[in-house]
């Protein structure tokens, strides 16, 4: 349906994976894009081998990992020696390659809408990240020291599908800005919030017409957007302003196959609550900032 991102052999520097058989997913527990992929794989009913990469320890910046993903991002899929990157593309690839419930529509109009909406969701990822890095845990626990970013920036000749890829530079800029400001600043929060107010308004309109984002039923589009809605709602975004979306969100949250993949250890959730409470005490929770800026 889209131009799915499969790496060219020349992009793959960690050549041992070329001989791997079966379905291997490189993922991180707390990564929203990984969670999305895991939920989709469960819905599809595929078996996969887990390779957990701890991005909090910068394991995604190693030469080995950058050799299968020049962007240094989670998730990454190896299937019978082929390497696929980008969560939405990975899901689409697996949907086409395996039997099981179809996660992508067959109707051409729905396909066109879904392509556009999946891209929209993906384009908002740095906004999800900004809110996560501000409100999930204290900056000292979240930030990437400059020397880790230096390693990331220096590693590897960066090609994707045989062509120079500019994605890493965008990532590096994000981390450098965060370090320069010692965290995510209010302006970034408001920018992200504004994007989600618009996006959620669009989702609300769809859900006024049908139970799922597409008329034909649940698809990977619901999974992809749900992960975003889940993440930012937990960080304090007022999703309840969008009543149909809030019901849709709650319906998936009640499902074991969704809840399981986004679960975090209780001590982490406690830490996150304390961190958000500290912002609230100084008047800078997400909703307090929104109120100050008239959102
Ligand atoms: N568009 C990419 C985004 C991937 C992405 O940014 N993944 C995050 C985790 S959700 C990551 O790997 N971050 C690297 C880091 O924090 O060092 C996708 O959908 O796969």
d(CA 247, CA 230): 12
pLDDT at 157: 67
d(CA 136, CA 231): 9
pLDDT at 3: 60
pLDDT at 5: 87
Residues spanned by CATH 1.20.1050.10 within the chain?
A: 108-143+183-292
Could you tell me if the CB of 160 is within 6 A of ligand 1?
no
- Three-state SS for the chain is CCCCCECCHHHCCCHHHHHCCCEEEEECCCCHHHHHHHHHHHHHCCCCEEEECCHHHCHHHCHHHHCCCCCCCCCEEEECCEEEECHHHHHHHHHHHCCCCCCCCCCHHHHHHHHHHHHHHHHCHHHHHHHHHHHCCCHHHHCCCHHHHHHHHHCCCCEECCEECCHHHHHHHHHHHHHHCCCCCHHHHHHHHHHHHHHHHHHHHHHHHCCCCECCECCHHHHHHHHHHHHHHHCCCCHHHCHHHHHHHHHHHCCHHHHHHHCCCHHHHHHHHHHHHHHHHCCCCHHHHHHHCCC
pLDDT at 158: 82
pLDDT at 139: 95
Could you tell me if the CB of 228 is within 6 A of ligand 1?
no
Query: What is the best residue among 6, 29, 32, 33 to mutate for testing ligand 1's pocket, by most ligand atoms within 8 Å of CB?
Result: 33
Chunked mean pLDDT (size 10), the chain, 295 residues: 78 96 98 98 98 97 96 97 98 97 98 98 98 97 95 87 92 97 98 98 98 98 98 98 98 98 96 98 98 98
User: What pTM was computed for the model?
Assistant: 0.97
pLDDT at 1: 46
pLDDT at 155: 86
Could you tell me if the CB of 245 is within 6 A of ligand 1?
no
Best CA proximity match to 68, nearest among 110, 26, 113: 26
Is 108-143+183-292 a domain of CATH 1.20.1050.10?
yes
Kindly report the CATH class assigned to 1-103+147-181. alpha beta
For atom 17 of ligand 1, which residue has the closest CA? 55
């Amino acid at each position: 349906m889209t131009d799915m991102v499969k790496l060219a052999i020349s992009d793959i520097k960690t050549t041992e994976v070329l001989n791997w058989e079966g379905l291997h997913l490189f993922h991180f527990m707390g990564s929203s894009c990984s969670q999305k992929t895991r939920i989709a794989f469960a819905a599809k009913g595929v078996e996969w081998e887990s390779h957990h990469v701890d991005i909090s320890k910068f394991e995604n910046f190693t030469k080995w990992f950058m050799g299968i993903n020049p962007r240094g991002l989670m998730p990454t899929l190896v299937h019978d020696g082929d390497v696929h990157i980008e969560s939405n593309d990975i899901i689409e690839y697996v949907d086409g390659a395996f039997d099981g419930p179809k996660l992508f529509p067959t109707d051409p109009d729905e396909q066109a809408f879904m392509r556009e909406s999946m891209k929209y969701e993906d384009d908002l990822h740095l906004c999800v990240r900004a809110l996560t890095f501000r409100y999930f845990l204290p900056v000292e626990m979240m930030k990437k020291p400059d020397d880790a970013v230096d390693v990331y920036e220096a590693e590897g000749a960066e090609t994707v599908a045989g062509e120079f890829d500019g994605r890493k530079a965008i990532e590096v800029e994000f981390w450098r800005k965060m370090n320069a400001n010692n965290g995510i600043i209010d302006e970034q929060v408001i920018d992200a919030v504004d994007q989600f107010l618009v996006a959620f308004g669009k989702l609300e309109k769809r859900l006024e017409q049908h139970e799922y984002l597409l008329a034909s039923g649940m698809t990977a589009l619901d999974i992809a957007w749900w992960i975003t809605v889940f993440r930012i709602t937990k960080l304090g975004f007022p999703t309840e302003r969008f009543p149909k979306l809030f019901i849709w969100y709650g319906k998936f949250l009640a499902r074991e196959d969704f809840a399981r993949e986004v679960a975090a250890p209780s001590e982490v959730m406690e830490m996150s609550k304390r961190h958000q409470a500290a912002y609230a005490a100084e008047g800078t929770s997400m909703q307090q900032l929104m109120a100050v800026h008239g959102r």
